[in-house]
Amino acid sequence: MKRFIFIFMFVAAACFLFSSNSRAVDFSGKRIEIIVSAGAGGGLTRNARVFAKHFSKHIPGNPTVVVKNIPGGGGQKGINFVYTKGRKDGTQIVYGPMNFVGINVGLAGIKYVPKKFKLLGFAGATPFVTIVRKDIKGGINSREDIMQKSGFVTGGRIPGGNLGLLSRMPFAILGIKNRFVVGYKNQPKLKAAMMQNEIQALTTGNVGYFVFYLNDTLKKGNGVALFSHPSFDVVTGKFRQSPHIKGVPRFTDFYAKLKGGEPSGDAWEAYKWKVSYDTFSSSMYMHPDTPDNITRVLQKAWKDNWNDPAMQKRFIKRNKAMLVTLQGAAAAKVIEGALSMSPGAKRYFSAELGIAKKSRKKK
Amino acid sequence: MILGVLIGIWMGAVPGLGGVLGMILLLPFTFDMEPVHAFALLLGLFAVTSTSDTIASVMLGIPGTAASQATILDGYPLAKKGQAPRAFGAAFTVSAFGGVFGAIVLAISLPIITPVITSFGSPEIFMLAILGLVMVGSLSGGSIGKGLLGALLGLLISTVGAAQTVAIYRYTFNTDYLLDTLPLIPCVLGLFAIPELMELAVKNISIARIENINTKKSRITDGIKDAFRHWWLATRCAAIGTYIGVLPGLGAAIVDWIAYGHAVQSSKDNKNFGKGDIRGVIAPEAANNATKGGALIPAVAFGIPGSLGTAILLGALLMVGLLPGPDMLTTNLHITFSMVWTLVFANILAAGLLMIWANQVAKIAFVSGHLIVPGVILFVFMGAWLGGDVAIGSWITLLVFGVLGYLMKVSGWARPPLVLGLILGTIVENRFLLSVRAHDGFSWLSKPLVLFLLGLVLVTLYFAIKGIRNKKRGTTDKDEQGEGRASNPVISSIVSIALIFVFSIASWIALDWPSEVGLFPLIIALPAILITLLTARSDWNGAQALYQLNPKATAIIREAIDKAYLTRSLIFISMLLGIILLTLLIGQKLVLPIFIYLYLTFWGSKSKVLAVTYSLISWVVLVFFYDRFINLAFYMPIIQNPLEAILPKNFPIWLLF
């Protein structure tokens, strides 16, 4: 009798598990909200809209896919929302980067645990470019002239933002003294500040390079693209190629040419970590309790969408290059690396974010 | 373009929607269009929201969009006098004029705009924002002290969220909603819409406070004549609007206030502003349409959008494969000029259409308030939800600002300075810190343009103080109507005490922060405490004067309560709180229709048939407009998951939640 009960229960459990796992996921009549953790007018939202336009056809049931903006707190508001209050049925997906710098240095306000999210995939890793005014402190005739300059002003968007950090770190590594001013909110305001000679150096993202500078500032001869910052592939151990950024040397090559060898110090530790793990700005992830069968279906749809020629054509029209996409083991390796920052990098980022001087009383 | 214009008219007319949302909705349809067609659609919509937003501002005293806040100050009093058609006639005429003005400036200034952009850095924008703040003087109603305090409170509230230079958050109280600066829409809707709706509901009156006289078509022509009579004011304000649009960093929300302030200060006879002066409608309406053309100039020429709307247009430009910059003035010049023509025709078309409809719309002013309140509550709540990051925090913000707006209204605290502080606070702090850091000190104060603007600030301040003094001397009527002119020292004392508490707590918290984080809140809060003590003393004197007339404290308090309709107002506020609490349980799509039914049946004493019909229509609007058309994310209530589990799998749950 006991044996019979045991077999019966085993079969019942197996049937239940089998049925729940193989149950066809169907999003017919549903609406999937892509939550962008940034403002409606920015580049991240534009990318999300292109992605959303084609996403539906790769999902069973072809649901309506809409983009929602929940900006604020450097992206934390939107991510916190999905993590703490988001739907668990795959109908709310974050589109945007997790704040890995903030997590490592203990920034307040972050309520999520990256590994707990159901990850569809990492996407991004496009290069950044550092640009300076050509008339900076007596003028620049060749890129190497920057080594003779000091005291100029470098601009950044928000504390801890990629644009500011990737302006600061290279000059710190090269030992060029400059004054960093953060708070320009967005790339257009940074460009306006550069036009006004309020700042003389900045870093822009891949799209910003083409939209704001290549066709205007650089074309008119008012600026020089000093060096690019391609992302580092932790799987192959090499920097990724960015052939669409023509004639701009890679920062590491620039350094090697002028100083020889590999840099060292906290800024370099921070730079290596940043370009390796923290440039996947178009990543997508869902509430931790999203069922596995739904996650698998959406992971496949995510992959199919990035590989869709129609989507790629539209994306390249705007971005000039496709994003790097990672899933599975490669994505897991990125998360592992992102969450294990070296002490030197931590020191650097803490200082940059102003975390070290958080409270007067505590001091 | 015509489709864009029609959608734009709707988006502008409904409080809380606005042109940005409209463009976001239409953007996916433009991906495969020819550039000229795509921009005709998007610009047609974008251009006219500042024309149709006048409807809510004039008829309900609620800003249709952020760009029509100042219009309510004189537009709504005109509607109360039964002169809504006149206000519409003037507003639509100058809106069309302002829009065309901005488009012409766009066309002729594109090749020569560089010096303007390069001359306005952070120091100049900081001084311009200070100039905007000085407008507080002309928006303060009867008391400069209360106006100043309102502005300081707005500035303090603007510091909520991330600090400017380091990753430290201020006044978040560990809530996600406060991680960023409070969104403007729920704050403004709360400050203006809730008190007006409360007045309609509590007093059971119509918008027009006069008998239903025949609103002839000639009234619109009266407004058109007014617009022509004040053509020079309209031209100046259109120029102000265009110029502010060109400058990246100020934003559209401030344009109408600056134009309004300019109209007040440049008028020799300004005692009727705030009571239904047509110039108070002409100035902001000419400016807010002109700003669209202005904001397009740097967006097209350099890729620097002057507002969120132009940022989205810039996105559309990129989506269709175009790049801003010199190409837009050479190889793609035809696209640039198609934008100019779209702005011109869209503005004229919208003004013409709205003038045709204006007489019908104006009749709403004579409808019973009980029929207006429920429907407008729905649009106000959903507008706040939409404009406040689709979170329950936006409704709490709406309610808090609603209570604040009510208390300010009934006790003689002008509300516009608070809005001005709220809008300009972030700009002032951000640009001040950028100026100091980029110039390594205060050398920027000697820049010629900064000195010129500083001179303007001082001149404006002088005339503002002089104007208030003259007004005080000339005022004889104690119960003078208009923003910030009500007299209720007892309620005003309560506001003062609450403010002392708020500013003190804010200072106490700010003392714990590093200097670059805590400096701005302290600069605001510490002087505010002193000024509040002075206004509290003034209120105390007012209360004592009442006591001398009637030496019974209870009678004075009872009179203050009656004058403010406090008891019924508190019941109304409780109903709004009930909406929020019930939403947590059963969601918005059920709560709002239920509220409408209960309001009409029990508060408005209307028939059940009418109440059911009204509720059903509101439910249809929620489900099919806000959910299916706009794709708005609704709150997920507590009962949704359990109910979904027991309902059939194919049941369309979106009908309920």
Task: Give the three-class secondary structure for A159.
Answer: coil
Classify residue A250 by its DSSP letter: B
Half-sphere exposure of B120 (CA within 13 A, CB side): 21
Region of residue A260 (left: phi > 0; alpha: psi -120 to 50; beta: else): left
Q: What phi, psi does B142 have (nearest 5°)? A: -85, -20
Contact at 8 Å (CB) between A282 and A123? Answer: yes
- Look over chain A and give the mean of its residue pLDDT values, rounded to a whole number: 89
The pLDDT value recorded for residue A3 is 57
Asked if B388 is an interface residue toward chain A (Cβ–Cβ < 8 A), one would say: no
Closest Cα partner for B185 from B387, B385, B377?
B387
Return d(Cα B414, Cα B146) in angstroms, integer: 7
Contact at 8 Å (CB) between A131 and A226? Answer: yes
Asked if B512 is an interface residue toward chain A (Cβ–Cβ < 8 A), one would say: yes
List the single best residue of B33, B176, B297, B313 to mutate versus A (max A Cβ within 10 A).
Answer: B176
Task: Provide CB contacts within 8 A for B237, sequence distance 6+.
Answer: B94, B98, B259, B262, B263, B282, B283, B284, B286, B287, B290
Instruction: Tell me the one-letter amino acid at A330.
Output: A
- For residue A201, give the chain B residue with the closest CA: B438
- Inter-chain touch A207–B318, beta carbons under 8 Å: yes
The pLDDT value recorded for residue B476 is 47
- Inter-chain touch B321–A159, beta carbons under 8 Å: no
The pLDDT value recorded for residue B358 is 85
Task: Give the three-class secondary structure for B439.
Answer: coil
Asked if B280 is an interface residue toward chain A (Cβ–Cβ < 8 A), one would say: no
Question: pLDDT, tens digit, for every residue of B246-286?
Answer: 877 676 778 888 899 889 888 888 788 888 899 999 999 99
Which among A66, A71, A193 is the nearest to B631, CB-wise?
Answer: A66
Q: Please give, rounded to a whole number of angstroms, the shortest distance from the CA of B325 to a CA of chain A.
A: 6
Contact at 8 Å (CB) between B631 and A8? Answer: no
- Inter-chain touch A184–B513, beta carbons under 8 Å: no
- Look over chain B and give the mean of its residue pLDDT values, rounded to a whole number: 87
Contact at 8 Å (CB) between A318 and A207? Answer: yes
- Inter-chain touch A191–B28, beta carbons under 8 Å: no
Cα distances (angstroms) measured from residue B233 to each of A109, B104, B197, B371: 49, 18, 32, 37
Question: Is A128-277 in CATH node 3.90.180.10?
Answer: no
Give domain limits for chain A.
24-125+280-341, 128-277
The pLDDT value recorded for residue A361 is 47
Asked if B118 is an interface residue toward chain A (Cβ–Cβ < 8 A), one would say: yes
Question: pLDDT, tens digit, for every residue of A54-87?
Answer: 999 999 999 999 998 888 888 889 999 999 989 9
Question: pLDDT, tens digit, for every residue of A20-61?
Answer: 444 588 898 889 999 998 888 888 998 999 999 999 999 999
Mean pLDDT to the nearest integer, B562-567: 87
Q: Residue B475 — very low, low, confident or very high, per pLDDT cuts 50/70/90?
A: low
Q: Residue B479 — very low, low, confident or very high, per pLDDT cuts 50/70/90?
A: very low
Tokens read off for B279: 């110039």
Task: Give the three-class secondary structure for A93.
Answer: strand
- Residues of B with CB below 8 A from A353's CB? 166-167
Cα distances (angstroms) measured from residue B203 to each of A10, A220, A232, B252: 71, 65, 68, 35
Instruction: Tell me the one-letter amino acid at B172.
Output: T
- For residue B174, give the chain A residue with the closest CA: A109
Q: Where are the alpha helices (DSSP H) in chain A?
A: 2-22, 43-55, 76-85, 100-105, 162-174, 187-195, 206-208, 251-259, 266-277, 292-307, 309-319, 328-338, 343-353
List the single best residue of A167, A191, A219 to mutate versus B (max B Cβ within 10 A).
Answer: A191
Q: Please give, rounded to a whole number of angstroms, the shortest distance from the CA of A1 to a CA of chain B.
A: 36
The pLDDT value recorded for residue B80 is 87
Tokens read off for B387: 């404009």
The terminus-to-terminus CA distance of chain B in angstroms comes to 35
- Inter-chain touch A191–B314, beta carbons under 8 Å: no
Question: pLDDT, tens digit, for every residue of B115-169?
Answer: 877 888 899 989 988 988 887 777 777 788 888 899 999 999 999 998 988 888 9
For chain B, what percent of residues have pLDDT higher than 90? 44
DSSP H/E element including A284:
strand A284-286
The pLDDT value recorded for residue B304 is 81
Return d(Cα B557, Cα A19) in angstroms, integer: 70
Cα distances (angstroms) measured from residue A316 to each of A239, A319, B39: 21, 5, 21
Q: Residue A356 — very low, low, confident or very high, per pLDDT cuts 50/70/90?
A: low
Whether this model's ipTM surpasses 0.90 comes out as: no
The pLDDT value recorded for residue B82 is 86
The pLDDT value recorded for residue B597 is 96
Mean pLDDT to the nearest integer, A241-254: 91
Return d(Cα B337, Cα B320) in angstroms, integer: 17
Q: What phi, psi does B446 have (nearest 5°)? A: -95, 5
Closest Cα partner for B18 from B58, B92, B68, B80?
B68
Residue A88 neighbours by CB distance under 10 Å:
15
- Inter-chain touch B315–A198, beta carbons under 8 Å: no
Closest Cα partner for B139 from B533, B418, B539?
B418
Which among A46, A74, A220 is the nearest to B167, CB-wise?
Answer: A74
DSSP calls for A18-52: HHHHHSPP--TT-EEEEEESS-TTSHHHHHHHHHH
Mean pLDDT to the nearest integer, B330-341: 84
Q: Please give, rounded to a whole number of angstroms, the shortest distance from the CA of B306 to a CA of chain A.
A: 9
Closest Cα partner for B92 from B199, B13, B27, B37?
B13
Q: What is the CATH number of domain A24-125+280-341?
A: 3.40.190.150
Q: Judge if A24-125+280-341 and A128-277 fold alike in CATH terms.
A: yes
Q: Which of residues 52-81 of A touch B (CB under 8 A)?
A: 52-53, 64, 66-74, 76-77, 80-81
Q: Which of A147-151, A276-280, B447-451, B457-461 has the lowest mean pLDDT?
A: B457-461
DSSP H/E element including B169:
strand B169-170
Return d(Cα B271, Cα B280) in angstroms, integer: 11
- Inter-chain touch A81–B433, beta carbons under 8 Å: no
The pLDDT value recorded for residue B396 is 96
For chain A, what percent of residues have pLDDT higher than 70? 91
Q: Residue B468 — very low, low, confident or very high, per pLDDT cuts 50/70/90?
A: low
Return d(Cα A15, Cα A168) in angstroms, integer: 58
Half-sphere exposure of B654 (CA within 13 A, CB side): 19
Q: What is the count of residue pairs from A and B with beta carbons less than 8 Å apart?
A: 192
Does residue B477 surpass a pLDDT of 70? no
Does residue A17 surpass a pLDDT of 60? no
Can you point out the beta strands (E) in A63-177?
A: 64-69, 92-95, 118-124, 128-133, 152-156
Asked if B640 is an interface residue toward chain A (Cβ–Cβ < 8 A), one would say: no
Contact at 8 Å (CB) between B5 and B48? Answer: yes
Provide the angle, in degrees to the nearest 10, between the axes of the packed helices A266-277 and A162-174: 140
Give domain limits for chain B.
2-204+217-470+482-486, 588-655
- Residues of A with CB below 8 A from B438's CB? 153, 179, 181, 193, 198-199
Contact at 8 Å (CB) between B92 and B351? Answer: yes
Q: Residue B353 — very low, low, confident or very high, per pLDDT cuts 50/70/90?
A: very high
Asked whether the CA dihedral B140, B145, B146, B147 is positive or negative, the reply is positive
* Residues counted in chain A: 363
